[in-house]
């Protein structure tokens, strides 16, 4: 757990970058600081590993004031990933990743062999280990940056705009990879971004920060989408928040129709193994436009139902056999009741004074 207690940072020129910030980052979760340029995100982040010292207030990690720990020890316990990866240009990829373990006393041989394992973990092939950073793509460099931060196996990982220097496709890939890794590792991650979509996708909790790193809202992304705390948050979240919020709703709660349920003169045709082939009707065979599996979110299911010529999303089992249909008209009632439950829960926690 990382606690900011009334933390203020005033730079020598008088700029108050962080103004009396109090906030708790939970262990084993991804907490995202998001907000407009200059609102104080990076300053708040860098105070956690003492790259920047607060003017007043304190930061505690697992109950200990960080100023009581030697800076060098603190930095070893806290991984740090920055935009553009910040790799050592004159060291090979493998040596970049192995550097901190070697500094910590691990033998060169062992450090390099675990570095190889880490490269694989972040989705890179071992043959890239002998290259220099300039010989990699931006996305690959970023992956090396993550591998390097993980090499010391720190319980805490700070990530400052880690994916903003890469194109949207690579960015999507890296975000997915981070979520996968986090599923295995369960680190305490604080990630800074100015991109609300990235915040919503990655954060277990998102702190929407206004100038002076003042938290306008600090809540799980689904709550921010369902009920922005004020106009500032609403404008940052932007349009389509209802639709985007469906990503956090369970797609398995909707009643399934059996696959022989005809819709508007269309029936689902399957092959000998039961895999969907398309919708058979007067115009021949029309495409199903994909299918979903157990665990899909409501956004995926709704998207499939909208795209389907029958207005029905096809569910398949682990072997790809069609085992049910979700009709567009059945979605509406489910969306309505999930939203009502969410808002009622938020209203209750607000009236208990728990919401931030």
Ligand X SMILES: Nc1ncnc2c1ncn2[C@@H]1O[C@H](COP(=O)(O)OP(=O)(O)OP(=O)(O)O)[C@@H](O)[C@H]1O
Cβ distance to ligand X smaller for residue 39 or 81:
39
Q: How far is the CB of 37 from ligand X (least distance, A)?
A: 3
Q: Is residue 83 at the binding interface for ligand X, with CB under 6 A as the rule?
A: no
Please identify, among the stretches 9-17, 173-181, 226-234, 304-312, the one whose residues bind ligand X according to the rule CB under 6 A: 9-17
Label the pairing between strands 312-316 and 291-292.
parallel
Span 188-207, contacts to ligand X by CB under 6 A: 194
Calculate Rg over the CA atoms of the chain.
24
| C-beta of residue 255 within 8 angstroms of C-beta of residue 312 | no
- Count of residues engaged in binding ligand X, rule: CB under 6 A: 13
Q: Is residue 216 at the binding interface for ligand X, with CB under 6 A as the rule?
A: no
Q: How far is CA 177 from CA 31, 248, 349, in A?
A: 17, 19, 33
Cα–Cα distance between 35 and 216 in angstroms, integer? Answer: 10
**Residue (of 347, 348, 335) closest to 249 by Cα position:** 335
| C-beta of residue 208 within 8 angstroms of C-beta of residue 233 | yes
Q: How far is the CB of 8 from ligand X (least distance, A)?
A: 12
| C-beta of residue 176 within 8 angstroms of C-beta of residue 201 | no
Q: What are phi and psi of 310, to 5 degrees?
A: -100, 0
Q: How far is the CB of 46 from ligand X (least distance, A)?
A: 8
Q: Which of 1, 11, 250, 307 binds ligand X (CB under 6 A)?
A: 11
Cβ distance to ligand X smaller for residue 38 or 265:
38
Q: Is residue 38 at the binding interface for ligand X, with CB under 6 A as the rule?
A: yes
Q: How far is the CB of 165 from ligand X (least distance, A)?
A: 13
Cα–Cα distance between 274 and 294 in angstroms, integer? Answer: 17
Cβ distance to ligand X smaller for residue 233 or 312:
233
Q: Which of 13, 127, 260, 273 binds ligand X (CB under 6 A)?
A: 13
Q: Which of 2, 21, 23, 40 binds ligand X (CB under 6 A)?
A: 40
Tokens of 174: 């890296």
Q: Which of 29, 31, 43, 92 binds ligand X (CB under 6 A)?
A: 43
Label the pairing between strands 56-61 and 2-10.
antiparallel
Cβ distance to ligand X smaller for residue 47 or 310:
47
Cβ distance to ligand X smaller for residue 38 or 117:
38
Q: Is residue 228 at the binding interface for ligand X, with CB under 6 A as the rule?
A: no
| C-beta of residue 290 within 8 angstroms of C-beta of residue 307 | yes
Please identify, among the stretches 34-42, 67-75, 151-159, 255-263, the one whose residues bind ligand X according to the rule CB under 6 A: 34-42
Positions of E strands within 230-310: 267-270, 276-281, 284-286, 291-292
Crossing angle (nearest 10°) for helices 328-351 and 298-307: 150
Q: Which of 2, 7, 17, 268 binds ligand X (CB under 6 A)?
A: 17
User: How much of the chain is helix, strand and coil, in % rounded to 5?
Assistant: 40, 25, 35
Q: How far is the CB of 15 from ligand X (least distance, A)?
A: 4
| C-beta of residue 193 within 8 angstroms of C-beta of residue 166 | no
Cα–Cα distance between 188 and 26 in angstroms, integer? Answer: 7
Q: Is residue 48 at the binding interface for ligand X, with CB under 6 A as the rule?
A: no
Q: Which of 1, 15, 267, 294 binds ligand X (CB under 6 A)?
A: 15
Q: Which of 21, 30, 39, 206 binds ligand X (CB under 6 A)?
A: 39
Q: How far is the CB of 82 from ligand X (least distance, A)?
A: 11
Please identify, among the stretches 33-41, 87-95, 139-147, 342-350, the one whose residues bind ligand X according to the rule CB under 6 A: 33-41
* 3-class secondary structure per residue, 172-191: HHHHHHHHHHHHHHCCEEEE
Residues binding ligand X (CB under 6 A): 11, 13, 15, 17, 35, 37-43, 194
């Amino acid at each position: 757990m990382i606690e900011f207690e009334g933390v203020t940072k005033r730079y020598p020129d008088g700029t108050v970058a962080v103004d009396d910030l109090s906030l708790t980052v939970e262990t084993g979760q991804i907490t995202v600081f998001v907000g407009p340029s200059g609102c104080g995100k990076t300053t708040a982040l860098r105070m956690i590993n003492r790259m920047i010292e607060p003017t007043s207030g304190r930061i505690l990690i697992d109950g200990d004031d960080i100023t009581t720990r030697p800076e060098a020890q603190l930095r070893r316990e806290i991984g740090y990933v920055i935009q553009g990866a910040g790799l050592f240009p004159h060291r090979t990829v493998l040596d970049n990743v192995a550097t901190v373990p070697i500094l910590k006393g691990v033998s060169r041989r062992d450090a390099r062999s675990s570095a190889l394992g880490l490269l694989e973990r972040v989705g890179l092939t071992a043959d890239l280990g002998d290259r220099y950073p300039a010989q990699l793509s931006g996305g690959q460099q970023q992956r090396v940056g993550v591998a390097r931060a993980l090499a010391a196996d720190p319980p805490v990982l700070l990530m400052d705009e880690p994916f903003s220097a890469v194109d949207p496709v690579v960015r999507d890939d890296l975000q997915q990879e981070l979520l996968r890794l986090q599923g295995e590792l369960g680190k305490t991650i604080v990630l800074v971004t100015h991109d609300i979509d990235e915040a919503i996708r990655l954060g277990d909790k998102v702190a929407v920060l206004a100038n002076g790193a003042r938290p306008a809202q600090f809540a799980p992304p689904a709550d921010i989408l369902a009920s922005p705390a004020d106009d500032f948050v609403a404008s940052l979240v932007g349009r389509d928040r209802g639709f985007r919020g469906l990503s956090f709703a369970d797609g398995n709660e909707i009643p399934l129709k059996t696959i022989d349920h005809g819709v508007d003169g269309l029936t689902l045709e399957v092959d000998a193994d039961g895999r969907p082939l398309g919708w058979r009707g007067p115009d021949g065979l029309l495409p199903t436009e994909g299918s979903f599996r157990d665990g899909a979110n409501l956004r995926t299911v709704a998207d499939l139902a909208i795209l389907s010529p029958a207005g029905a999303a096809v569910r398949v089992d682990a072997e790809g056999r069609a085992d049910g249909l979700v009709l567009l008209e059945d979605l509406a009632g489910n969306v309505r009741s999930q939203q009502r439950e969410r808002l009622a829960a938020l209203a209750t926690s607000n009236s208990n004074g728990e919401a931030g």
